[in-house]
Structure formats: C-alpha cells, structure tokens
Chain A
Amino acid sequence: MNLLLEIGVEEIPDGMLAGALEYLGGAVANLLKQHEAGDVTIRTDATPRRLVVRAEGIQSKQADTEERVWGPARTAPEVAVAGFAKKQGIAVEQLELLSDGKAEKYSYVRKTRGRGASEILASALPELVLKTPFPKTMYWTGKGGDRFIRPIRWIVALLDDQIVPFTIAGVPAGDETSGHRKLGAARFPVTYENYETKLRENFVILSRDERRDRIRAVPTKYKCDKELLNTLVNLTEWPTPITGSFDPAFLELPKEVLITVMRHHQKYFSVETPDGNLAPQFVAVTNTDGDPDGLIRHGNERVLRARFNDAQFFWNADQKKKLADRVKDLGNVTFQAKLGTYLEKTERMDQLVLTLLVHAAKAGQPVTDSDISEAKVRYTFGPESPEFHAVRASRLAKTDLTTELVKEFTELQGVVGGLYARAQGEPEEVAIAIYDQYKPVSMEDSIPRTEAGRILAVADKLDTLRGCFRVGLIPSGSKDPFALRRAAQGLVKILVEGKLRLPIQSLCEGNKQLEEFLADRIRYYFREIRGFEYDEVNAVLASGWDDLPDLEERLEAVRELRPTENFEPLAASFKRISNILKQAKFDNEGAVIRERLLERGPETELYRAFEATRLECRLLPDHKSRLASIASLRPKVDHFFDKILVNAPDPAVRQNRLALLDAMLSEFSQIADFSEIVPHTTTPQP
C-alpha cells in the first residue's frame, strides 16, 4: 500500500523546510519499520505551504501472532486460577491444563491480531508530526495547544484510497488539499496517484528540483547564488523569474552596496555584463505564472529605486564626517556589556597590532613593553609600510559602525569602512585592510589579501576571543552567541595560510580554556579542512602549537615520511620509550648521560648515532630532512631493545640508560610526539 501524508501549513519560513523533511521522512520510515509494516520507499517534498511524505510498499496489516500464556499450577487455590483468567480477560472454562515440562499448569493461547497499517499510522502520526524539530515554534489554538512552526490548516492522509483517521490541533485528516493561494482552488480532493498532477493543475509545483529549474530558466544571465536560489525555491509554489532594470546612474555606488540591497534586502539576483561588471538589471523570482502587463516588474523596479536612493542618501550623508573623525564616537557603541565600547576595543586592538608587529619582527625573541612603545612611535606616523598600514587600519577599523550606511546594511560592516577609507584618501593598503577585516567569514572564504589586513584581522579576532574568555562568555554546546568558533577558526586559517609566525599560544594570556579552545580549532582545521590524519595532528600538536606555520611544516614532514619503512616502527619504539619512562617514574631533573656507564655494543652505538643525529638535525634546513634523519636511527633503536635490558640491576646503569632514552625522546619530540602515532599496520612488538 502507499501512503500520502501532506501537512498543510501557513507559510513556513524558507530555511526550515529541509530540516523538517529530513526528520519527517526518517520518522515515517522508522515507524513503519518498527511495526513490521514493511521496508518502504520514502519520498519527501515541500513547498512553503506543505510538508509532504509519500511511502510506497507498506504491508496492509501486521501478521497475526499466537502465544501460549502459562498461569498457576493445577494445585493452586481456586481464587488464583480465577484471578489469572480474569487478568487475561477470559473465562476459567477456556483455560487448558497442560504440562510445561515440569508441572501441570493452567494456560491458554493468546491470539494477537496484527494491527492494520492504517491503525498504526492513525495512532502514531499526530505525535510524530508535532515532534518535527523547528528552532522556534508557536501555538495558535489557545494556551497549552499544540505547537508547530506555523498554524496547520489542513491535512491529507491517504493509505491507498482510504483516509487515515486522525486529528492534529483540531484539524482532521482528509483527502482535500489546497492549491496556489491565488491561482489555484482553495480546496480539492486528491488521490495518491493524481496528487502531483492535481497540484500542478492548481499551480503548485511539488518538486523542489523542478522549481529550481524553472527559476534557472530565465534568459538573462544572472549571477547564480546557490543560497539565494534555495531560498527562492522554498518561498514559491509556482516560481516565475522576471528581469527588471534600474537607472545606470546608480552604478556609481559601489557594487558591494548595490548587490547587498538586491541580494539581502530584495532577494534579487544581480546581473553581470559580459566583461564581468555589474549590469543595471536584476532578476526577481515571483510566485505567479507571469507578468503580462509588467505590473510586477514595475513594482519591483520602484522598490529597488527607493532602496538605492536610500543608500545614495546614506552614502552622501556619511561623507560629511570622515572615518578619522568618528573614532571618538565609538565610545557610544557597545561592543559587549562586560567588554565596554568599540572605542575601548579599538584601543585594545591598536595595542595588539603593535604587539603582533613586534613579535613578527623579533621572530621568537621576547617582547618587552619598551619594544611596543618604540614600535608605536615608529609605525604611527609613517612612512608607508605594511606596519604603518596595519596601525592606521586598526585605528579606523570599527568607525564604519557609526555610519548610516552600516546602520542600514549591517552585513556591510568592514566593507563600507574600506570603501569610505578609499573615498577619503586613506592609503589603498589601509582601505583594503579595513575592507578585509572580517575575513575569512567561513572556511571556504579567503584570508585578507594583504599583510596589514592579516595583522588587523588577527588582532580583532584575538581581542574578541581573549575578552570573551576573560569575562566567561565561553561557547558551550551549540550556544555560541558571539561566534567565537568562527573567530578562532578564522584566526587559525590566517596564521597558517598567511604564514604568520606569531606566538599564538603565548598570546592567550595563560587562559587555559582559551588555549584548549584554540587547540581544538587547530585540530579541526588540519583534520577537516586540510585532511591530515587525527593521530598525525595530535602528534605534532603535542610538541607545541605556538608557531602554526612551523606546526604545518612538521605535519607535512610527518605525512610525507609516514609511509617510509622506518617511520612507524620507530614511532612504536618511541611509544615504548615513553611507557618505560613513565613506569620507571623517571625524573629528568639534572639527569646526564655518562658515557662510561654505557655498555659497549648496542647501547654505545645507539648513543653515538643519537648524538650524530642530534647534531645533524641542528644543521638541516627543514623538518622533513630532520625527520628522515631521525627515522634512520631505527635499526640502532631496534638493536638496542633486542640486546639491552633497560631495567639493569645496577641502579646507576639503569638511571643512565633511562637518561639516554629520555634525552632521545625529548630531543625528537620537538617535531612530534611519536607516541601519539597509531600504526596503520600492526607491527609485532619485539
């Protein structure tokens, strides 16, 4: 049998259709499976006004079952026997006396009729439907009533040609659906077979793919924005795209502003000229079957003109006060209640930018307050250099938050600042740095284009992270109101891909929670985005992550050398060494290796090879060749473990031996903690 379930709802927010369908399809399949009503094929569809599940191959009825139920023994008192019969809902005469193999007992065969599919569905569907997960639900039938994303107005529930009888929120299931609000009939009956055809006759295209194709079929070449396309597919039952145009004079406004107005405020696609510039046109997607009189086009053009006029008005108004004169106004804009205003944030960022610049210049050397004061003098007034640009950009970075244009189009923060900086004669690099400050906004997005932009973006994100962690605004589970995960993820991406050798761990100000949070993001970045294996990432992370470009190089070395024959066995030996040291509770405080205590043969050979490798590693130019050199120690290490008993009876010899192993472990652990490597092939342990 086939099931058609359609929940007719007032316009469901476009972002919620996919999640609802995923749940409903799975839940209906599970329900049928649990009740042994067959392995069904499920198909789900949705428009703004309906969530639809169709299931094929349902068994009409569960199989009947029989089961013998045993009661009291023959010897039991009469009341007990009567009690048993009553509990089972039968008369005493219907009981049989039979032996269960041990004793004679009263018993009877209980027959359970398999429930029909309709019965199963009718009893389970109301709860199943109401459990659909939505981020925000409402009630509409009165306080305490059922909750859903929007009011449910009709329900179609057909098992073949029979209505499955149930009610949700006072709406009984039936066989009548509803067409397009204006072009279709308000109520008409359907069957499982004619459902889609009938809907189509009433101007509803059920398939989201087909609606997508209709939208894409417009002759105008527009910039296909997948997210917007999905939104429009989910907002329409009968989508028809139309092309409109606007006064080319508006093209004097930056295209970022024009596109934002079209894309975010009007849900229009923007159109490009063949040479890649913005064309004075747009594509709007209507929920109708056409616009023969051009009324809809005309209306949309007028709305867009008003919007562009607004933007023009704001742009002109904003030019009356330069960004540089807006810094003090940031004192009136809250960053976060506990973290003060954007003026305070700007001051912290200014300081942080200087700190980062000094760190970058001193490459690993300690940084003092006087270094930073000096840098401030050196970089604040020019001459033009990436450092000067970063300092200047930081000062102006947040000032666009006080402009009318950003108040109106908040998603353009940063971008507007960059455009204004350019228009107001700031150096181009300063404008670009401001423009790029929120990059990367996702893992797919690129990092800021310039060095100054990268320093600024790092300072901004780091300040937000440090501040929030300092006052306890730490993300938990799915709650991350300040988007700290994204900030941290962006920070990692910029440091690695921008090759910024900044001591990121030290910059966490000793906040262990922040360190752990960042370490997590680093793991995520290298595993999920870069595709390194989890044990490789753990191994290099355990050797420190203060310098991310260096960590990346170590990771690449490990990945490249891992398939070589010596690597994994050596890693296994390092794990063994680590365990031995742990078991021996070896304390390396003041431990030295005394050559005279080394046994001739394997132990001395290992020591010599270790010393040679150690020296060589200092001279080699990169981690890969260092790691290759370390890996070549493998035969000596194997030989040592074959022939030498670490746990020597003489305590002095034993200590010396442990000191040798410990020295090796800590020396080579600067690249990676090899004990974290989980072997691909199980090598027999010697």
Chain B
Amino acid sequence: MSSKPLSFQEIVARLKQYWGERGCIIQEPFDVEVGAGTSCPETFLRALGPKPYRTAYVQPSRRPADGRYGDNPNRLYKHMQLQVLLKPTPADVIEQYMGSLEAIGIDLRKHDLKLEEDNWENPSLGAWGVGWQVMLDGLEITQFTYFQQVGGIDLELVPAEITYGLERLTAFLQGVDSVYDIEWTPGVLYRNVRLVDELQYSVYNFELADVPTLWKLFDIHEGEAKRLLDLYQDSKGRTGFPLLATYDHVLKCGNLFNTLDARGAISVTERVGVIGRIRKLAVGVAGAWVEQQYGEAA
C-alpha cells in the first residue's frame, strides 16, 4: 500500500477511470430513489435484450430499514455503491475486477482475497443470479453476480454485475473503524457530509413518515405504471413509447414499500402481496422493453 491511503472521492474517481478505460460508459447516479444500483434502468433494463453494453456508475442507495440515526459505525440509511455492468461478461472478468482493486492501492499479494458463494435474488424485480461475495481480509467488499433472469426473463447475454460497497472499501483502505471517520477529501470527513442525512432520514422513516400518505402515494404510482403498461399494449411496437417513464413509477413504488416496511406498516401477511404487485409491474416493463428493443433492431 502507498504511504497515504486514497480519499473517498479519489477512490471513486480511480474506479470510474479504471472501468472507463475498459470500455464502460461512465454514467452519473440515477435520479429516482433506489435501494440498490441494480434497480437503475442502466442495469435493470440494459441487462435485457440482445445489445452488448458496459457501464459503471456510483449509485446512492437508500435502505430505510438500515438507518441507525447515525449511531452505528457500519450501518447506513443511504450508502454509495459503485455499480459495474459488463454485458456480455468477458472471460477475464475476475482478473479485471482484481485489477480494479490494485488500481485503488490494494496490493493483492499482501492481502487475502476469497470468492465465497453468494447467490443474489430480488423478488420484487423478478431478478436473480449466481455469484459470490468477495472477501478481502475477512471483509465483504463486493457482490459479484452473473445475472440469469431479470424481470422474469431469461437473459440473452449474461452480464456480470460488480457492486462495490464504497464506504466499506474506503474504511478498509483508510484503516478506520467507523464509516463516519472516512476521509472524504483532505480536511473533510464522511460525518461532515452525511451524518445529518442519516439522522434526519432515520427520524422520518422510523417516526414521522405518514403511513396513509405513503400508501396513497404507492397507489398513485402503481396506478400510473399500470395505466402506461395498458397503453403500451394498445400501441405495441411504438418506438417512442415511454417505458423509461413507466419504470420510474415502478421504482417509486419500491422505495415507498421500503419506507413503509421500515415504519413497521406492512404486516407479514401483506408483505408477499405487495412485493407481488411491484414485481408484476417490473415484469411488465421488462417484457415490453425487450419487445421494443427487438422492434428497433429490426
């Protein structure tokens, strides 16, 4: 390791540069709330269909139930993921991934890297894959997944999804025990930037979020997504049909569901049903998206 570890923003910049040099489009974060970079259209929709695609982007990921009022050194309401999608997967994908760790100053000859089985599934997106959690000196730093299905559809080309937990990775490199002690950039700590978000959103998600209002919003977004999907059925094959806008509403439902869940407003019996409602929409958008892509290809 070099004498001084990289700052949070240097790590992000190096990783983006590294993947940019390997043919990835460097995207900026998606602007609708998501629980993980996978949900963004850049992954969820781009994974579908016959077109090769490579992208990398940082995605702030919101998980209302994981908020801890800024008290817990390792758990965050909102954490940053660096999401890489390589479609189709290059044969040397793991070597490329290991290269990215070297690029941020980890000398892998001096550390212990293991790939341990960890299969991934997101039932509300009808998506699953197989892969590993990547363990560096006993710390899980990355989730590596070969997608098999997205939106209930078998994928034409199998992408590799590489998701780095940026706070963890930085804490590891900087040798700090709390994510709040991460140096964002010299003179500025993570706590200076993010602690206030953690506290305020924990108060909102656990105490103040108005349950009837959230349900109302959920119904509104679900209704709009449904309306659009019905319209799509009538206008099949229209290139400009706004499936991306439809998907925004699906994502809104996902975040509302997570907030309601954190608020303790979803009973166990309801849970499966609500997930099913979101999945139905996601599957609908995925199917239409594939159709639209083939329409364009023809």
Contacts and interface: CB of A to CB of B under 8 A. Distances in A.
Contacts of A136: 119, 130
Contacts of A150: 130
B10 interface: no
A309 interface: yes
B73 A341 contact: no
A106 B110 CA distance: 78
B159 to A, nearest CB: 10
Interface string A260-299: 0000001010000000000000001011100101011011
B207 interface: no
B138 A266 contact: yes
A11 interface: yes
B219 interface: no
Interface string A112-156: 000000000000000000000000101111110000001101000
A90 B75 CA distance: 80
Contacts of A268: 138
A320 interface: no
Nearest to A154: B91
Given A143-B156, A293-B110, A235 B148 contact: no
A186 B95 contact: yes
Contact of B268 (A288, A291, A304, A332): A332
B172 interface: yes
A142 B158 contact: yes
Contact of B117 (A13, A140, A341): A13
Most buried by B among A236, A298, A303: A303
Contacts of B264: 332
B137 A143 contact: no
B192 interface: no
B89 A140 contact: yes
A210 interface: no
Contacts of A186: 95
A121 B150 CA distance: 38
Given A313-B72, A334-B269, A287 B130 contact: no
A454 B172 CA distance: 47
B146 interface: yes
A296 B108 CA distance: 11
A182 interface: yes
B109 A139 contact: no
A183 B109 contact: yes
A304 B138 contact: yes
Interface string A413-444: 00000000000000000000000000000000
A333 interface: yes
Sort chain A's interface into a size bin. 35 or more
Contacts of B89: 140, 151
A182 B95 contact: no
A328 interface: no
B115 interface: yes
A140 B91 CA distance: 10
Interface in A297-336: 298-300, 302-306, 309-310, 313, 332-334
B154 interface: yes
B115 A11 contact: yes
B94 interface: yes
A615 interface: no
Interface in B70-89: 72-74, 88-89
B132 interface: yes
Sort chain B's interface into a size bin. 35 or more
Contacts of A79: none
B195 to A, nearest CB: 17
Contacts, number: 111
B283 interface: no
A293 B137 CA distance: 13
A182 B113 contact: yes
Contacts of B158: 138-142
Contacts of A288: 109, 111-112
A313 B72 CA distance: 8
A33 to B, nearest CB: 34
Contacts of B272: 337
B118 to A, nearest CB: 9
Contacts of B146: 138, 140, 151
A196 interface: no
Contacts of A310: 72, 74
A14 interface: yes
B138 A300 contact: yes
A296 B110 CA distance: 7
B88 to A, nearest CB: 7
A150 B115 CA distance: 12
B277 interface: no
Given A14-B117, A287-B112, A142 B88 contact: yes
B267 interface: yes
A243 to B, nearest CB: 13
Contacts of A142: 88, 156-158
Contacts of B115: 10-11, 48
A390 B138 CA distance: 42
Given A140-B89, A142-B157, A296 B112 contact: yes
B64 to A, nearest CB: 16
A300 B111 CA distance: 10
Given A140-B146, A142-B158, A182-B109, A299 B269 contact: no
Nearest to B118: A13
A142 B175 CA distance: 41
Interface in A135-194: 136, 138-143, 150-151, 153, 181-183, 186
22 contacts: A10-B94, A48-B115, A139-B158, A140-B146, A143-B155, A151-B91, A181-B95, A236-B114, A295-B111, A295-B137, A299-B111, A299-B136, A299-B137, A299-B172, A302-B172, A302-B175, A303-B139, A306-B74, A309-B73, A310-B72, A332-B264, A337-B272
Interface of A: 10-11, 13-15, 48, 136, 138-143, 150-151, 153, 181-183, 186, 235-236, 266, 268, 284, 286-288, 291, 293, 295-296, 298-300, 302-306, 309-310, 313, 332-334, 337, 341
Given A11-B117, A310-B74, 18 more contacts: A10-B115, A11-B114, A14-B117, A136-B119, A138-B130, A138-B148, A143-B157, A181-B113, A236-B114, A287-B113, A288-B111, A299-B172, A302-B139, A302-B172, A309-B73, A334-B269, A337-B272, A341-B268
Closest 10 interchain pairs by CB?
Answer: A299-B137, A13-B117, A286-B112, A11-B115, A334-B268, A300-B138, A303-B138, A303-B139, A138-B130, A182-B108
